[in-house]
Amino acid sequence: MHYTIGVIGLGDMGGGIAANLVRAGYTVHGYDRKEEEVVRFLSRGGLAAGGAGEILERCDVVLVCVEGQDAIRLTEGQLIPSARPEQTFIDHSTVPVHEAR
pLDDT digits (tens, 9 = 90+) for 35-69: 999 999 999 999 999 998 999 999 999 999 988 77
- Residue 23 DSSP label: H
Identify whether 40 is part of a domain.
yes
Banded model confidence at residue 2, pLDDT cuts 50, 70, 90? confident
Identify whether 14 is part of a domain.
yes
In angstroms, the CA 51 to CA 48 distance is 9
In angstroms, the CA 78 to CA 18 distance is 21
Identify whether 69 is part of a domain.
no
Domain interval for residue 33: 1-50
Model pLDDT, residue 1? 65
Identify whether 58 is part of a domain.
no
Element (H, E) at 77: none
User: Residues 78, 79, 85, 86: is their CA dihedral positive or negative?
Assistant: positive
Per the CB < 8 A criterion, the answer to whether 45 and 20 are in contact is no
Identify whether 80 is part of a domain.
no
In angstroms, the CA 5 to CA 21 distance is 8
Query: What amino acid occupies position 32?
Result: D
pLDDT digits (tens, 9 = 90+) for 66-101: 887 776 677 777 788 888 999 998 888 877 777 665
Q: Domains in the chain: how many in total?
A: 1
Q: What is the pTM of this model?
A: 0.88
Identify whether 84 is part of a domain.
no
Identify whether 17 is part of a domain.
yes
What CATH number is attached to the domain comprising 10? 3.40.50.720
